[in-house]
Amino acid sequence: MTAINRYTCLSTLIGLCLAGANGTYAQISSINSAVLDTRVFNNFPSATGTYLNNYPSSITLGESGAYSSTSGGLDRDEWQFSNNGSSAYTLGASDYFSVSMNVTVTGTTAVDNEGGYIIPNANGLFPGGDLQFLADPNSGFLGMFGGTGFWNSGITYTAGLSVTMGMEYFYDAANSENAFQFWVNAGSGNVYSPVQDWSGGNVAGDVLGAYYQIGNGGTSPGASGQAVYSNIQLTSIPEPSTLALLGLGLLPLSRYLRRRV
């Protein structure tokens, strides 16, 4: 085989590997916007909502005057990642990702008043129901529950504190399971959760985003507050088969270059 033919075959092999690898994780990379889904819960319809979408720099969800003469109830607003600006992006089973954002929750602290990530249990595979990773100035809780488990960061959250919250969905090759890991930073370095393996589960058909909710203020004019999400960052994590394809293409290239030296 001539040098040109060898080079052509080698280039074709590497191109096919790179194209195949790109196809396996390009979906998350197509996300370019966010869409709002307000009043998912609407127990206080007379409350005034504040909804500002400046993705990826900031998104604000807020409610004021959440009041009812009877106890209980919530107003909840959500936003979801999107790749078309008009509908939520639907995750695939192998849409592995790393996401982080700054979260600041303010407002009435005597009632449920919280914000953070949410992955609704759309396909019913989460053993704990909806996955919520949140900051709650009412209870001081900063951590996650539902979904794949429970984790308390040990950091007490107070109203107005800006924290960075991140999570990863990835394939845990050591245990052959899909998995989540969470982390928070309140100004003293990252605090990580244990890896939460997810036996037999995946996120196919679900959506990824964030929420804000507030409970009944008890007395007129009711409770008010908001969550601000800023510096929103989302990246793909290649699945193991993608890395294998890349390796398949790069190995002959390295051998060829060594022979040329």
Tell me the domains of the chain and their CATH numbers.
30-237 (2.60.120.200)
**pLDDT mean over 136-162:** 98
Query: For tokens 């690898």, what's the residue?
Result: 21
* Alpha carbon distance 57, 148 (integer Å): 29
Q: What SS3 class is residue 210?
A: strand
Q: How confident is the model at residue 240 (pLDDT cuts 50, 70, 90)?
A: confident
What gap in Å lies between CA 222 and CA 232, rounded to an integer?
31
| Side chain identity, residue 180 | F
pLDDT value of residue 15: 43
Angle between helical axes of 240-260 and 3-29 (0-180°, round to 10): 150
Instruction: Evaluate if residue 216 carries a pLDDT over 50.
Output: yes
- 250: phi then psi, degrees, rounded to nearest 5: -80, -25
**CA quadruple 80, 81, 84, 85: dihedral sign:** positive
Three-state SS letters, 238-257: CCHHHHHHHHHHHHHHHHHH
* pLDDT tens-digit series, residues 58-74: 999 999 999 998 888 99
Q: How far apart are CA 169 and CA 195, in angstroms?
A: 10
pLDDT band at 7 (very low <50, low <70, confident <90, very high): very low
Binned at pLDDT 50, 70 and 90, residue 258 comes out as low
pLDDT, position 222: 92
Q: How confident is the model at residue 19 (pLDDT cuts 50, 70, 90)?
A: very low
Q: What is the pLDDT of residues 23-62, one digit of tens each?
A: 444 699 999 999 999 999 999 999 999 999 999 999 999 9
